[in-house]
Structure 1
């Protein structure tokens, strides 16, 4: 078994020296007071007694392991102390040779009993997000009310066992495997990886900033719940397939949140054989995105990411100006405005009617991450077509407003996916002020409710309605003006630092 160096400089390992059996605490000989001068002294030990003791030792060992497989162990530092004691006995060789042989044999059986199952369970291929998902399908999550759903190893639910992963396939997740093993009895040729590992399963992908963020937000929730405990490394899976990176936007925000590089496992730098297992000293697994978290918990999580991002980009944690920031966050190509100039003029006219209103027009495609953070920090009203760039909304101050626009055909055919920015607005403490849906666009050769039309409408462009846009902008601008005035009267409390700093 290979042991890799830990990334955590504070990691220490504690072992407990086993207590000496009671029959070794006394002299191996015992004498009896002579009653006659002719009585012959006898030895307390005999070959038969040694065999009896050895048999008892092996029997107790077997009974204990039958019991330990039926009863969860407490998740404490000493939860495997019994197994550790037997390991020490093997090392110290303080038992008779026959006992050592039997104990070694039992240890080998524990190692061989580790069962590896496919990370991607094809039995659930048609319901991959139902129940406890097709990823690590034999295991259930820990879930406290209002908190994130997660798995942790070792823990009470894993009977003190740690997570082992075998296989590094990036095309078919059913060729990658997982299993659970006791720390002292790892599978043959396994490598023990020290420190804490975050394992993320994403049913979508890590390249799209919305999908990636929704998969990683649960780790931020666990981070807050666990006294700001941070990972030594990450392992990313998409449909059980290994992924070695994520979008630069997402990577940067997670580095800010966890105070350092993510160290994403690439599985190709250690020189180990492809099929040899990697067993992780501590692992936290997420496979349900934000499911199960209360709205209050989600807002706490987004507050932390926002705060850390502003610190990283040297932006004030809270604004002190009286400006009303109105930002048109534009797209190019699919789902862009057909007449962008006309749209800008409508919002510009309404902005000029409101004192201290400042209009900005920006494109997400040509801004760095910190430029996006700074832009959102100065924005009170975000105007943008439906698309991944709207994920930036949580970087605005709480209670800021969002206006969203859709091409023709989305209402009937796009399903619940068109609501994701309503959700993130609610989860991050923003106000989604509604959506405008274009009724004009390219014709579909099929009936309007035919699913095949979505391929025509998906990347359509968006028109405008001058009257509707002007009334919409005027109403929201006045709401924001009143809100900011009330906040100024009450006096804003400016945070001086982020949580987990």
Structure 2
């Protein structure tokens, strides 16, 4: 008790003595500090509010800055994507060496082997077009001009906005032709251009600015004279064949618009081929200034009696052994028919227009098997063809010996059969050995006067009867031009 009382008195004395030091509890509160903090907050708020008001009064500046930043980002992104696309362009060999032997002829898949053809309609030409939906808007690019090894020439597809570096861009329409034969032979060359003419008819008569010609993937510098003249007549201008002479070696060339054909006329229907041959016939006659008076030679006979028989002769392989004897047979038979006129021409000394004029006067074409028979489409529709072969061709020449039978059908003519000479050079290997074809290929053709005379009489009579029937029925001629 006494101790608690003393402690209480001591505590009261300590608290009541102002001069004696003592400890204080720590505290952050101060009225003056609070005032300073409050004033600073108000000042910062006012400044920020004024700044916000100034920004709101000029919103265009802010939007332009934001848009400019977006454009800069977009531009940088586009440039980056374009560069990536350029780097992604891969050139592949035009001639794919993975396809060899017979496989190379099965759809010609070795030429631009990664691509697929399109066909707009049943019976139409098979082709590729760039740019197009199937190419996803990409352009065709080529590189190389090797004329000995097609695997050294290459192709690629590229977007217009991302062409490979140092690219040459060629404007206009480019026709790219693949041909596994050559462009000097008039049949092989004509077969290669038929689908282009079909595309031309279907596409509002579009005319190419240039041609690029490939033979087994190797670039070619020209068409043969006959084929070049036919294309000049058909497209109303001499074909410009591009060989990239002005392009630095190894530099890519891309094309604003390109059409590629690699199947020749294969797969086209007879209807579509007839359209093509009708157009080429008509344009060739216009080009060569063949008038109706020249087509239907001046004569006192009526049109139903005008029958033109043309012996289209060859020199060298597959020529007649005795031209004089053969000509004599046809002269005698033609002389027996009122209005029949015989012409004898040699294909090797006629210009293109000479051939056009001769064919326009011909109702019956008599000729040995050979490229000169390609001219048959220049006759009027329903004209007749008589074909002659040397010994050995029937067994050993393969299906190619029927090509002019096919062309007659495709161009609207009437193939009246073929005479095959049973006599000729003897082959040391035996008549059926394929090695004999090297001998028979260059053989000459004899004649059989009795057979030739009877055959000629029958064909002339058929032509005469047909002409009279057509005149009676007033059947119009199918020689009109489109694409004029």
Based on CA coordinates, which of the two structures has the bigger radius of gyration? 2
Aligned residue in 2 for 1:128: 104
Q: Structure 1 residue 212 and structure 2 residue 182: aligned?
A: no
Give the corresponding residue for 1:172: 149
Q: By how many angstroms is 1:123 displaced?
A: 1.3
Q: Does 1:479 align with 2:455?
A: no
What whole-Å deviation, never above 9, does each CA across 1:341-362 have from its counterpart, x for those lacking one? 1111111111112111101111
Matched, 1:462 2:448: no
Match of 1:119 in 2: 94
Q: 1:436 to 1:153 in 2, by over 3 A?
A: same
Contact conserved, 2:278 with 2:479, CA < 8 A, in 1? no
* TM-score of the two chains, using structure 1 as the length reference: 0.80
Report SS of the residue matched to 2:289: coil
Partner of 1:351 in structure 2? 334
Q: 1:18 — aligned with what? A: none
Any residues of structure 2 matched to 1:133-148 within 5 Å, and which? 133-143=109-119, 144-148=121-125
Secondary structure in 1 aligned to 2:183? coil
Instruction: State the Cα deviation string for residues 381-409 of structure 1 (Å, max 9, x = none).
Output: 00000001000000000000000000011
More off after superposition, 315-324 vs 405-414: 315-324
Match of 1:87 in 2: none
Change (3 A) 1:228 1:488: same
Aligned partner (choices 237, 249, 258) of residue 274 of structure 1: 249
> Aligned in 2, Cα 1:489/1:276: closer, same or farther, shift over 3 Å?
same
For the aligned residue pairs, the C-alpha RMSD in angstroms reads 2.2
CA contact 1:168–1:241 (8 Å) conserved in 2:
yes
- Alignment CA distance shift 1:496-1:423 (3 Å): closer
Helix, strand or coil at the partner of 2:418: strand
Tell me, in whole angstroms, the C-alpha distance in 1 between the residues paired with 2:203 and 2:74: 43
Residue from 219, 228, 232 that aligns with 1:242: 219
Q: Secondary structure at the match of 2:135?
A: coil
Q: Separation in 2 of the partners of 1:445 and 1:311?
A: 52
Gaps of 5+ in 2: 1-44, 57-61, 297-302
Distance 1:444 1:216 in 2: 38
Match of 1:12 in 2: none
Note the C-alpha offset of 1:247: 1.1
Unaligned runs of 5+ residues in structure 1 are: 1-35, 55-92
Provide the C-alpha distance between the structure 1 equivalents of 2:48 and 2:355, rounded to a whole number of angstroms. Answer: 98
Alignment CA distance shift 1:94-1:180 (3 Å):
farther
Query: 467, 488, 498: which one pairs with 2:471?
Result: 488
User: Alignment partner of 1:205: what SS?
Assistant: coil
3-state SS, counterpart of residue 157 of structure 1: helix
- 1:165–1:179 Cα contact (<8 Å) kept: yes
Instruction: Map 1:18-417 to 2 at 5 A.
Output: 40=49, 95=70, 97-126=72-101, 127-143=103-119, 144-268=121-245, 270=246, 272-316=247-291, 319-320=295-296, 321=303, 322-417=305-400
Shift of the alpha carbon at 1:492?
5.1
Aligned 8 A contact 1:201 1:237 in 2: yes
* Structure-2 change in CA distance of 1:94 and 1:379 (3 Å): farther
Verify the 8 A CA contact 2:278 2:480 in the aligned structure 1. Answer: no
Give how far 1:131 is off: 3.0
Structure richer in helix, relative to its length: 2
What does the per-residue CA deviation read over 1:122-160, in whole Å, with 9 as the maximum and x for residues that have no partner? 112222221352111100001121100000000010000
Cα distance, 1:497 vs structure 2: 5.7
Tell whether the 8 Å contact from 2:381 to 2:478 is kept in structure 1 after alignment: no
**Contact kept? 2:281, 2:479, Cα under 8 Å:** no
Cα shift readout 1:245-303 (whole Å, capped 9, x = no counterpart): 111111001100001111110211x2x31100000000000010111211011011000
Q: CA deviation at 1:101?
A: 3.2
Q: Name the counterpart of 1:6.
A: none
